[in-house]
Amino acid sequence: MGQIQLKQVTKSFGDVQVIPPLDLTIQDGEFTVFVGPSGCGKSTLLRLIAGLEDISSGHIEIDGKDATDLVPAKRGLAMVFQSYALYPHMSVRKNIAFPLRMAKMDPAEIDRRVNAAAEVLNLAAYIDRRPGQLSGGQRQRVAIGRAIVREPSAFLFDEPLSNLDAALRVGMRMEISELHKKLKTTMVYVTHDQVEAMTMADKIVVLQAGVIEQVGSPLELYRRPRNTFVAGFIGSPKMNLISGEEAAKHDAATIGIRPEHIDVVESGGTWQGTVGVAEHLGSDTFFHIHNTGLTEMITVRAIGDINLTHGDTIHLNPRMNELHRFDAQGLRID
């Protein structure tokens, strides 16, 4: 069980409204990711759900029951913080047991659950250490352990991987995904990293300035971005957004074409320009191209290693069926 519903929720700090009226339903068992640039209100939204901040108006329902005025502890949610927020003076065992102790659970049952969690998270070897003696990834697992022992109706993650180095991040990403598959509990996950969002989510909520720009599955967002903001935010490298004359040819204010949807050809081609920077990754090559006569610099992702460098002329063929069109308000035209 773990359905979360936000109804006309707003949040203001003083005179500043950081979240205008917002409706959102997170289904039971769903892995939902809030993604957006920093300052977009995604963390605030998570804290509103957690009950760490009051909402200014509207209602929050958890499993159909009004939770608007419930204190955090009574909402049946568990949270993993960006800084892990482990209790530095307690051992790993005591950290994980803390929520159970607060719930006045039977000590034998606490032991059983803590050991089970430690087993699942590969923490058994460190169970009597303090958080200060653990690596970043281990701390992260302790924080997750502390969350899962309570068997909450939903997990809230606040940018949990942003303090880890790149290699560890990929590993932890998979661990969390696997955990979700195993527990089938609702998870709400906040990140500014669209790669995390794309790889983990069942449902992505793209936020900007407290407003939901689009809700959908990762591929929906990739294939049919509702506006130029989502188009530019989802996908890496970023979608090329071109306005001006070229867009007018397609009856749009802006057209978008993803770097991987532009083919490099020997000669001819719809567009041509000079290579500014060529990033050779081996499997792919990214070209940043100037002097195409278009309003923007173009990024192209070509498969394999293509032998073009700075200053070379390049010929491009965008795939017309992958073209996205947007109107003057930036909304998608179908």
Partner 1 sequence: MARSVTPRRKLINTTIAWAIGLLIFFPILWTILTSFKTEAQAIAAPPIFLGFEWTLENYRVVLERSDYARFLWNSIIIAGLSTLIGVAIAVPAAWSMAFVPSKRTKDILLWMLSTKMLPAVGVLYPIYLIFIELGLLDSRAGLVVVLMLINLPIIVWMLYTYFKEIPGEILEAARMDGATLPQELLYVLTPMAIPGIASTMLLNFILAWNEAFWTLNLTAVNAAPLTAFIASYSSPEGLFFAKLSAASTMAIAPILILGWFSQKQLVRGLTFGAVK
Partner 2 sequence: MATKASRSAARIMMAPAVILLLGWMLVPLIMTLWFSFRVYLPLRGGDQGWAGFDNYIRFVTSSAFWPSVQTTLIIVLGVLVITVVFGILIALLLDQPIWGQGVVRILVIAPFFVMPTVSALVWKNMFMDPVNGLFSHLWRFFGAEPVSWLSDASLPSIIMIVSWQWLPFATLILLTAVQSLDSEQLEAAEMDGAPWHKRFWFLVLPHLSRAITIVILIQTIFLLAIFAEIFVTTGGAFGTRTLSYLIFQRVLESQNIGLGSAGGVYAIILANIVAIFLMRIVGKNLD
Give residues in contact with partner 2 (CB under 8 A).
Answer: 51-54, 71
What is the crossing angle of helices 107-120 and 92-102, to 10°?
130
Choose among partner 2, partner 1, none what residue 78 binds, the Cβ cut-off being 5 to 8 Å by kind: partner 1
132 vs 282, which CB is nearer to partner 1? Answer: 132
Question: How is residue 128 written in tokens?
Answer: 């009597």
CB atoms within 10 A of CB 31: 22
Residues in contact with partner 1, shown as a per-residue x/- string from 102 to 141 under the rule CB under 8 A: xx--------------------------------------
DSSP state letters, 72-139: GGGGTEEEE-TT----TTS-HHHHHHHHHHHTT--HHHHHHHHHHHHHHTT-GGGTTS-GGGS-HHHH
Choose among partner 1, partner 2, none what residue 150 binds, the Cβ cut-off being 5 to 8 Å by kind: partner 1
49 vs 110, which CB is nearer to partner 2? Answer: 49
Q: Residue 73, class by beta-carbon neighbours within 10 Å (0-12 exposed, 13-18 middle, 19+ buried)?
A: exposed
Using an 8 Å Cβ cutoff, are 214 and 226 in contact? yes
- One of 93, 139, 146, 180 touching partner 1 (CB under 8 A): 146
The SS3 of residue 58 is: strand
Choose one: 55-63, 66-74, 109-117, 230-238; the region binding partner 1 (CB under 8 A).
Answer: 66-74
HSE at residue 193, side-chain half, CA atoms within 13 A, is 15
48 vs 247, which CB is nearer to partner 2? Answer: 48
Residues in contact with partner 1, shown as a per-residue x/- string from 68 to 87 under the rule CB under 8 A: ---xxx---xxx-xxx-xxx
Contacts to partner 1 by CB under 8 A: 50, 52, 71-73, 77-79, 81-83, 85-90, 98-99, 102-103, 146, 150
